[in-house]
């Protein structure tokens, strides 16, 4: 490893084997030990359709985006990064897309009965099981990883411990205190160089924000699917998934940098539109993201719900319902008293956003997901006729204030 490289541990394997759970446990253990560590689920870095012909399954796109996110975490002081997700079972990771990275690929496997049990248990049915078992067989027969860990019969904690034991060459696991890594910036913050440095980020962006539990991810993904059905090439980003870095938390500056890196790759792949979801506390937060997306037209839609609805949705989310399971969801499996406190905070957050008049208010009380989605799509006005993003006549910086999308000239 060179002095400027950062160690990256990528946990791969067939669907259902436990990549995300084990990867999150390894990440959490490093954070608890005090090692500044980044985490990313590789599936979150390839949500752009239709696929380009020369990159089926978007494996190269994901590797390019991973390189950008690792650089963002590195600039924020991370000494290592944990990645979970599938790799190309025939060709492995596109290592040529990863600059200044020392990569270790660890393949997780399980015997057929165990993998079947996990996959069906996670999905609730056996649809796609035959394909999963074929993928597992290809991985067993191939050589896409540096290390293989059999997780059959192991709990998540036990599997993470076995990964630590087997991946002896990964510096941070072998010697957390002495691991070489990229130097932390002198001011302790992520350096902004390169963010928004080119006009290649122009395009149409819709940002769904709102209080905790209001349904940003659930509605946002449905909006994304509608945009795709309208015929646009589009990408989807969950901002929270671009900011897993601890024990010193990653703020909006880290997420904005990572967002810009992804949007640049998506634009080069032909994306005309971006749907993103995530919290926005105030106007300065909005301006920070707008600065990272120069030339883009950004429309902010704020989902709003009353206290009762927020409480109900937060309770459902704790059971893994209301939105798809995602890494690092802090509400899953929590106690009722904890969730009620979160609901109180969410109600206060909604009131604060209401007073600040952030974005276009979209009322969600008494509406189905489909109805809310239709309201958002009508508000942003994207259609199949809009094949190219609007380009401004003069250089502008895009920001958002009150109920309007506005442009501030530089």
Beta pairing class for 80-84 and 37-41 = parallel
Dihedral of the alpha carbons of 361, 369, 223, 238, in degrees to the nearest 10: 80
Res. 277: pLDDT tops 50 = yes
State mean pLDDT over 347-362.
93
Give the span between the Cα atoms of 153 and 394, in whole angstroms. Answer: 62
Helices (H), 249-324: 252-268, 283-292, 307-318
State mean pLDDT over 283-305.
91
Query: Which residue from 185, 146, 183, 143 is spatially nearest to 168, judged by alpha carbons?
Result: 146
CA-to-CA dists, residue 352 to 104, 211, 239, angstroms? 45, 9, 20
Give the span between the Cα atoms of 108 and 139, in whole angstroms. Answer: 10
pLDDT in tens, 47-94: 999 998 899 899 999 999 999 999 999 999 999 999 999 999 888 899
CA 177 to chain centre: 28
CA 122 to chain centre: 20
Q: What are phi and psi of 219, to 5 degrees?
A: -70, -40
Tokens found for residue 86: 């599938």
First to last CA, the chain: 43
In the block, residue with structure tokens 């995300």:
20
Identify the pLDDT of residue 91: 85
pLDDT in tens, 166-213: 997 776 765 555 444 444 443 333 334 444 445 456 789 999 999 999
pLDDT in tens, 86-145: 999 888 899 999 998 999 999 999 999 999 999 998 888 999 999 999 999 999 998 899
Q: Is 372 buried (19+), middle (13-18) or exposed (0-12) by CB count in 10 A?
A: buried
**Please, what is the average pLDDT of the chain?**
84
φ/ψ region of 405 (left if φ > 0, alpha if ψ in -120 to 50, else beta) reads: beta
Give the span between the Cα atoms of 242 and 44, in whole angstroms. Answer: 9
Q: Is 89 buried (19+), middle (13-18) or exposed (0-12) by CB count in 10 A?
A: buried
Q: What are phi and psi of 89, to 5 degrees?
A: -70, -15
State mean pLDDT over 36-48.
96
In the block, residue with structure tokens 């599936």:
43
The helix (H) or strand (E) run that includes residue 343 is helix 336-356
Q: Is 367 buried (19+), middle (13-18) or exposed (0-12) by CB count in 10 A?
A: middle
């Amino acid at each position: 490893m060179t002095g400027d490289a950062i160690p990256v541990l990528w946990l791969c394997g067939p669907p259902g084997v436990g990549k995300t759970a084990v990867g999150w446990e390894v990440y959490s253990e490093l954070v608890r030990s005090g090692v500044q560590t980044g985490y990313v689920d590789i599936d979150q870095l390839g949500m752009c359709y239709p696929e380009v012909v020369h990159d089926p399954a978007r494996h190269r796109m994901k590797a390019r985006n991973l390189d950008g996110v690792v650089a963002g975490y590195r600039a924020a002081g991370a000494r290592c990064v944990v990645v979970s997700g599938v790799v190309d079972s025939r060709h492995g990771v596109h290592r040529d897309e990863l600059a200044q990275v020392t990569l270790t690929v660890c393949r997780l496997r399980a015997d057929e009965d165990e993998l079947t049990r996990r996959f069906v248990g996670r999905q609730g049915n056996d649809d796609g099981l035959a394909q999963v078992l074929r993928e597992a067989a290809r991985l067993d027969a191939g050589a896409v990883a540096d290390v293989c860990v059999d997780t059959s019969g192991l709990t998540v904690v036990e599997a993470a411990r076995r990964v630590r034991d087997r991946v002896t060459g990964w510096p941070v696991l072998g010697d957390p205190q002495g691991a070489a890594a990229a130097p932390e910036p002198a001011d302790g913050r992520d350096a902004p160089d390169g963010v928004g440095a080119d006009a290649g980020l122009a395009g149409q962006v819709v940002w769904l924000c709102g209080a905790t539990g209001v349904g940003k991810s659930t509605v946002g993904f449905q909006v994304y699917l509608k945009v795709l059905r309208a015929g646009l090439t589009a990408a989807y980003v969950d901002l929270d998934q671009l900011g897993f870095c601890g024990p010193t938390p990653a703020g909006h500056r880290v997420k904005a940098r990572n967002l810009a890196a992804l949007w640049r790759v998506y634009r080069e792949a032909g994306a005309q539109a971006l749907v993103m979801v995530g919290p926005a506390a105030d106007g300065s937060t909005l301006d920070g993201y707008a600065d990272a997306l120069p030339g883009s037209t950004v429309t902010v839609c704020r989902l709003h719900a009353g206290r009762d609805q927020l409480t109900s949705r937060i309770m459902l989310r704790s059971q893994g319902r209301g939105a798809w399971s995602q890494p690092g969801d802090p509400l899953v499996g929590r106690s009722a008293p904890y969730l009620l406190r979160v609901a109180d905070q969410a109600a206060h957050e909604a009131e604060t956003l209401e007073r600040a008049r952030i974005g276009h208010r979209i009322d969600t009380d008494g509406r189905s997901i489909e109805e809310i989605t239709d309201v958002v799509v009508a508000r942003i006005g994207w259609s199949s006729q809009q094949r190219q993003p609007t380009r401004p006549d003069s250089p502008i910086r895009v920001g958002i204030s009150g109920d309007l999308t506005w442009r501030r000239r530089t």
